[in-house]
Structure 1
Amino acid sequence: MNLDALLDHPAFAAEPPRDLDELARRAYAQLAVVNETVGGSTALLDDPQAMSAVLDWAAVVDPSLFAAAAIHYAVVLTSIKELGRPEETLGAAIASLDRLDAVGAILITEIGHGNNHISLRTQAVYEPETRTFRLRTPTPGARKLMASIALPGVAKIGTVYAELIVDGEPCGTFAFVVPLRDAAGLRPGVLVEPLRGTVPVALDYSVTSFDDVRVPYDHWLRDTASITPAGLFEDPLGSKDRRLVRSLALSAWASLAGAVGLASASRAAAAIALRYAATRSTMGRLSPNRPVLDYRTQQHALYGALSSAYAVTALVDKAIEAFLDKPWEVPPDETAITFSPWVAAHRTHALAKAAATELCAEITAECRRRSGAQGVLSINRIIAYEGLAQSYNSAGGDNLLILMDAGRSMAETLQPCEVPDSFTDSFTGPFMGDLADPEVRLGLLRVQEATLHTELAASVRQASEAGLSPFDAWNPHLSKAVELARVHQRRMVAEAFRALVAGRQDEAMATALAAAERLHGLRDLARDRAWLLERGVLSQAAALSVADLVEKAVDDLAVHAEALLDGLGLPERRLGAWFLPA
C-alpha cells in the first residue's frame, strides 16, 4: 500500500486553502481518495494493522485528515461493527459509510455535562407502536458539542450517544446511528450551529441538537440488549455502568487511533526540527555561520525530542500489539466509574492515549520553540502537530479524568507493583547503582510507583475508616492519584522502550536505539530527582550526578542521530515542510 503516491493527487498536491471550511472540505476530499485506494472502509476494519498504517500516514500528512479518518474508521465504523445488529436500514448506512458516500461523525460530549460522558441528557425514547426511537434534546445543556457536521454539501452519518427511555424508564446509555445531513442539507429534526473561530485541528465543528428525529430499531447499537415485541427492555449485562462501558467499546480503537496519530506527529515534528536545525545557520558572535544544532541547548532539546519520539512510538506499538492479540476484549468488572468511563472501558489503552498526548505535546512544543519564527508557520506543520496534541487532551477521553480514575482504581483494586529484589533496600536507604542503566531507571520507577500506591491507599483507607464520605475521603488526595497514574504511565513507556531495544535484531540500530533509550530515561529521571532525594531513594551525590549522565547521553545519541532519523521512516516528501530558505 504505497500511500505516498497519493501525494501527487490534486486533493493533496493543490495549495492549501486559508478558509477554515475549505480546509475541512479538503480533508474530506483527501479521505475519499484514501478510502478508494484502500478498497473501502470495511476493508480497513478487517485489517487493523492496515488501519493503523493509514492513520499513521494521515497524521503526518495532515492532522485534519487524520482526525476525519480516525473518527470515520476507528470510532464510527468500529462501534457499528462491534455493537450493531444490522438489518435492512442499518446495512444501507454501513454501505454508505463504506463507500464514503457519507462521512462518519461522533456525537457524545454535551455542552452542559463536560467530558465525563457518565450523565448524558440526550434521549432516545422508544415508541412501541412503530418500533422506532424518537431522538430528542430535552435541554440546552444536552446539545452535542464538537461534532464535525457543520459543512454544507458533505453527507454525514453520526453515532449519537443517548439515554434510552423505554416505557418512561431510563435504561442506560447507547449509541444510535443517525443520518445527519446529505448533499441537499440537514435531515429533518437535526439542528446544527457551526462553531466559528480558530481550532487546533481544522474540521467543521458544531453544536447539535435533535427535535424528535426518528431512528429505526436496527440503528440502535444494542449489542446484547433488546426490546421484546411486548415492549420489555432486556439487558443481560444487568447494570447501567456496565452498559455504558460496553457502549463505549469504541474507546479501545478510539484511544489507540489517537495514540497512533500522536506518535506519528511526534516523529514528524522531531524529524522536521532536526533537519532544519542541522542546516540553519546562526550569526552568534561565538562562531558566526555555525549550524544551530551545534549549540548545546539545541542538542539537549532536539535530541531529547528525538529520543522521546521513539519512546512514544514504542509505547503505541506495544498497545496495538496487545489489542491485536485480544481485540474487543471486555474488561473485568473491577473498576467502578467515578469521573469518566474510559478507564473502566480499558485502563491500559486510555493511559496509553493520555501518555502519548503528554509526550507529543512536549515534543512538538519544544520543536516549535527551537525552530524560531519558522516553527509557528502552519506550512511547516510543527504547529499543526502541536494542535493535534492539544485536541487529544480531551478527544478520546479527558486526560485528567483518565488519570484521576486510573490512580483511584489502582489504589482500590490493585496491589502495588513488584519491586526487584535489588531495589528493596531503596525503601530504607539510598540506592547504589548505575543510573544510566535503563533497567535501573525502570527499577526506580517501580520503587516510586509502589511507594505512591501504598501511601495513597493508606490515606484513603484511613479517611474512610474515619467515616468520611467518598468525596471527602478522596478529594484531598486526587492530585496524588494523578501522580500515581503518571508514574505508572512512565513505567509503561520505559517497559515498552526496553522491549523495543531488546527485540531489534539489527545490531547497529539496536545500539542507536539503546542510546535513545538512555537519553529518554535519564531526562525522565532528572524530573524525579527531588522526589527520590526527599524519600531517601537517591543520595545527594547520586542525584547531582544525573546532570552529567544526561550530558554524556546527549553525546552518545549525537553519534547515532542520522541513523535514528532514518529509522523514523519519514521521507522528506511525506513531511512536506517548507522552511523558507535563508
Structure 2
Amino acid sequence: MPSLPADVDPRTLTPVLDGRWAALRAEVRARMAAEPYRDPVGLAVEAHRALVFDQLQALATTDVPGLGFDKAYGGGGDIGGSVVSFEMLGFGDLSLMVKAGVQWGLFGGAVQLLGTRPHHERYLRRIKDLDLLGCFAMTEHGHGSDVQHLRTTATYDPDTAEFVVHTPDRAATKEYIGNAARDGHAAVVFAQLITHGEARGVHAFMVPIRDPDGRAAPGVLIEDCGPKAGLNGVDNGRLAFDHVRVPREALLNRFGDVAPDGTYSSPIEGDARRFFTMLGTLIRGRVSVGGSAGSATKRALTLAVRYAERRRQFAKPDGEEVVILDYLGHQRRLLPALATSYALHFAQDELVAALHDTASDAPQEEQRRLESRAAGLKVANTWHATATIQNAREACGGAGYLAENLLPGLKADTDVFTTFEGDNTVLLQLVAKGLLTDYKDAFQNLSPLATARFAAERVLGAVAERTAARKVVDAVDRLTEGDDREALFDRDWQLKLFQDREQHVLEGVADRLRKAGPDPFAVFNAAQDHVLRAGRVHIDRLVLEAFVHAIGRCPDPGAKALLERVCDLYALSNIEADRAWFLEHGRLSAGRSKAVISAVNTLCAELRPHARTLVDAFDIPEQYLAAPMLDGDAG
C-alpha cells in the first residue's frame, strides 16, 4: 500500500467532491459568501419565521428557485442543478432550506410533475417568483407513511363540475404542513378521489387556503403547530377542510382525470399501480433532504475537527498538553464519520445524476430503481447526520453544548430529517422489497404475499450469484493468507465482501418469506428485522461502489492517494461495525476480525494529519463556521 504524501492541498479534492455540477456549486458558494449571515441563535419563533421569509424573498431574485422548472415557464430545465442548489443551502440555516424546498420543490414540484399544461401555465411562474406561496398537504394526523390510505376526500359533484374537499374526522387533519401556519395561500392537497360513488385512490388537488388578505378561506381551518424542537423558521401548520369546493380543473390530472359528467379516466390501469407511479415522480424532495442532511453533517464535522486541532487536554510526561485530535479515541470519534461523509457524498452525487438523466417516461423498472436508491440514500444520509452531529457535539465538550457554537442548532434542525420525506424504517423496507420484487409490475403494491411468492423464484438465482461472489472472496483470502493487513486493504476483497453480504442477507430474507402460509402478514412481520438489514447492506454496497468510482475520476495523484485511504477507512469501519455478522457467517476468521480493528486504528493515525485538509475540501464559506469556540482559527 503506497504511503500518503505529507501534504495534500484541499483545493485538489474540492473539484472531485463538486463533480458534475462544480460550476454551479462554485457560483452558489460565492453568492453565499457575499451575503451577510449569522446563525439565528436565540430568535423567537415569529422573528425566526420573518427572517426566513425575508431570506426566501431574496433567494427568489436569483436563478436558484427556477432551476428545476421547465424553460417555457422561466425555469432552467436543470433538475440535477436544482437539487444541488438546495443541498448547498444545507450549509446555512436549515429552516431556509426546508421552506425553500416546500415552496419550490414540493409545492411547485407537485404542480409540475402531477399537473398538465394548463396548471403549468397558470401556476409555475407565480410559484417560482413567490407570487403564489403554497403548501404540500399530504401527511395526516392518522396516516403519515401510509399515504395510500389517507382519509381526506375529494368528491366530484357533476351538477356544479366541482370537487368537494372534506376532512371527515380528526385523523384526516393534515399535519406538520410547511408554509401553512403563516405564509401559504394555496395547497396541493392529497385526497381520495370519489366520483359516481366510486373511490379511485389518492390524487392531488390545488386548493386555496387563504384569501388575498391572508385570512383563512371559507371552510378551511388553519392551526399553528407552534414551537418545534428545531426548524422554527418554518411555519408548520394543520389544515382541515369543511366541504370546500374547488373547480374540476383543480385536479392535477397527469395520471387521472374526471370528465364534466364525472367519468374517470387514467393512462395507468389499476389504482395501486397509478398511486405508486404518482408517488414515484415526487422523489426530488427525498433526494434533497438526503443531500441537505449531508451538508449539515459536513458542517458539524468541520467545526468538530477544527476545534479538536486547537483544544488541548492533559499533559505528556514532558509537560506539553496534548491536542485532543492526537488521541486515538478522538480520532475514532470523528475520522470514520468523516470517511462515511465522503462516501455518502459520492453516492449522493451519483443519485442526483441519475435523477437528472432519467426521463419522465423512462421504463417503470428504471423509475423503481431510482426511487429505491433515493429512499436508501435518504435513510443513510439522515441517520448518519443524526449520529455524527451528536458525536461532534460530544467531541466539543461543553463548548459544543453552547448554542453560539452552532452544533446544538444543527442537532435540533436535522433530527426530524429521519422521519420526514419518509420514515427511515419504512423507507428501508421499500428498498428491500424492491430488491425482492425486482420491480415487477405484478408486485408493485408490495404486499407481503406477493413479495413472498416472488421471493421463492429468486432463491436459485441468488444461490448461484452468491457462490460466484464467495469464490472471489475465498480467492483473495488465499492469495493474501498470512498477511491480514494486505488482505484488508485489497479493494477487490472489500467490494466482494460487501456484495457477498448483501446477496447472502437477501437470499436469507427470500428463504424466510417463501414460507408464507395462511397468514402472509405474520410471515413478513416475523422477518422484518431481516428485511431491514437487507435494505441497509444494499445501501452500504452502493455507497462503497460510488466511492470507488469517484476515486477513478480524481486526476491529482496526491489527492487520489488520500481518497484511497479514506475509502479504506469507510470500508473497514463498516466491516468493524458489523463484525458479528461476518464472524457468524464465516466471512472473517477470528484473527482477521481482530486485524480489522487494528487496521481502523492504523488508518485513523495515518489520516490524522490530513483531517483538516479533508474538512477544508468541503469548501464551506467561512461565515457559516463562525463559532466563538474557533475564534482565532486561520480558516
Q: Could you say whether these structures have the same fold, taking a TM-score greater than 0.5 normalized by the shorter chain as the test?
A: yes
Structure 2 CA distance for aligned equivalents of residues 276 and 407 of structure 1 = 40
- After superposition, what is the alpha-carbon deviation per residue over 1:382-427, rounded to whole angstroms, capped at 9, x for unaligned? 3333334421211111111111232234234465494585732768
Is 1:139 the counterpart of 2:169? The answer is: yes
Is 1:259 the counterpart of 2:290? The answer is: yes
Structure 2 CA distance for aligned equivalents of residues 102 and 577 of structure 1 = 37
- After superposition, what is the alpha-carbon deviation per residue over 1:544-579, rounded to whole angstroms, capped at 9, x for unaligned? 111110111112222432332232121312334343
Structure 2 CA distance for aligned equivalents of residues 500 and 521 of structure 1 = 15
Is 1:290 the counterpart of 2:319? The answer is: no
| Closer/same/farther in 2, CA of residues 112 and 431 from structure 1, 3 Å limit | farther
Is 1:564 the counterpart of 2:626? The answer is: no
- After superposition, what is the alpha-carbon deviation per residue over 1:344-384, rounded to whole angstroms, capped at 9, x for unaligned? 98211111111111222222121111111222333333333
Structure 2 CA distance for aligned equivalents of residues 83 and 447 of structure 1 = 40
Structure 1 CA distance for aligned equivalents of residues 39 and 297 of structure 2 = 25
Residue number among 497, 502, 520 corresponding to 1:449 in the alignment: 502
Is 1:106 the counterpart of 2:126? The answer is: no
Read off the aligned partner of 2:253 and give its amino acid letter.
R
Is 1:528 the counterpart of 2:574? The answer is: no
Question: What is aligned with 1:339?
Answer: none
Q: In the comparison of the two structures, how many residue pairs are matched?
A: 569
- After superposition, what is the alpha-carbon deviation per residue over 1:469-516, rounded to whole angstroms, capped at 9, x for unaligned? 211221110100001111001001111111111111122211111111
Deviation of 1:281 (Å): 2.5
Bigger CA drift: 42-51 or 488-497?
Answer: 42-51
Determine if contact 2:376/2:539 at 8 Å carries over to the other structure.
yes
Is 1:504 the counterpart of 2:536? The answer is: no
Deviation of 1:123 (Å): 0.7
Question: What is aligned with 2:113?
Answer: 82
Residue number among 305, 324, 340 corresponding to 2:356 in the alignment: 324
Question: What is aligned with 2:198?
Answer: 169
Deviation of 1:295 (Å): 1.7
Bigger CA drift: 282-291 or 129-138?
Answer: 282-291
Residue number among 529, 538, 542 corresponding to 1:479 in the alignment: 529
Task: Name the % identity.
Answer: 25
Read off the aligned partner of 1:355 and give its amino acid letter.
A
Per the normalisation by structure 2, the TM-score is 0.83
SS at match of 2:538: helix
Residue number among 402, 407, 428 corresponding to 1:403 in the alignment: 428
Structure 2 CA distance for aligned equivalents of residues 91 and 217 of structure 1 = 17
Residue number among 246, 249, 270 corresponding to 1:239 in the alignment: 270
Structure 1 CA distance for aligned equivalents of residues 504 and 90 of structure 2 = 38
| Closer/same/farther in 2, CA of residues 27 and 3 from structure 1, 3 Å limit | farther
Per the normalisation by structure 1, the TM-score is 0.90
Is 1:458 the counterpart of 2:483? The answer is: no
Bigger CA drift: 488-497 or 357-366?
Answer: 357-366
Question: What is aligned with 1:118?
Answer: 148
Determine if contact 1:60/1:575 at 8 Å carries over to the other structure.
no
Q: Which aligned pairs between 1:152-551 and structure 2 lie closer than 5 A?
A: 152=182, 154-181=183-210, 182-202=212-232, 203-283=234-314, 289-328=321-360, 332=364, 346-413=371-438, 416=462, 418=465, 421=468, 423-424=470-471, 433=480, 434-461=487-514, 463-464=515-516, 467-551=517-601
Determine if contact 2:328/2:601 at 8 Å carries over to the other structure.
no
Determine if contact 1:416/1:449 at 8 Å carries over to the other structure.
no
Determine if contact 1:262/1:388 at 8 Å carries over to the other structure.
no
| Closer/same/farther in 2, CA of residues 506 and 136 from structure 1, 3 Å limit | same
Bigger CA drift: 159-168 or 415-424?
Answer: 415-424
Deviation of 1:290 (Å): 3.0
Structure 1 CA distance for aligned equivalents of residues 410 and 38 of structure 2 = 20
Structure 2 CA distance for aligned equivalents of residues 550 and 100 of structure 1 = 50
Q: Which runs of 4+ in 1 moved over 6 A?
A: 427-432
| Closer/same/farther in 2, CA of residues 28 and 327 from structure 1, 3 Å limit | farther
The answer for unaligned runs of 5 or more in structure 1 is 336-342
Read off the aligned partner of 2:490 and give its amino acid letter.
D
Deviation of 1:284 (Å): 5.6
- After superposition, what is the alpha-carbon deviation per residue over 1:280-308, rounded to whole angstroms, capped at 9, x for unaligned? 23246775543221222111112222211
Structure 2 CA distance for aligned equivalents of residues 305 and 344 of structure 1 = 27
Read off the aligned partner of 2:399 and give its amino acid letter.
Q
SS at match of 2:60: helix
Structure 2 CA distance for aligned equivalents of residues 195 and 432 of structure 1 = 61
Read off the aligned partner of 1:443 and give its amino acid letter.
K
Question: What is aligned with 1:575?
Answer: 625
Structure 2 CA distance for aligned equivalents of residues 578 and 26 of structure 1 = 22
Determine if contact 2:65/2:82 at 8 Å carries over to the other structure.
no
Read off the aligned partner of 2:338 and give its amino acid letter.
L
The answer for unaligned runs of 5 or more in structure 2 is 1-26, 439-457, 481-486
Residue number among 66, 73, 78 corresponding to 1:47 in the alignment: 78
SS at match of 1:96: helix
Q: Which aligned pairs between 1:55-94 and structure 2 lie closer than 5 A?
A: 55-87=86-118, 91-94=121-124
Is 1:24 the counterpart of 2:59? The answer is: no
Question: What is aligned with 1:340?
Answer: none
Structure 1 CA distance for aligned equivalents of residues 568 and 370 of structure 2 = 33
Determine if contact 2:181/2:237 at 8 Å carries over to the other structure.
no
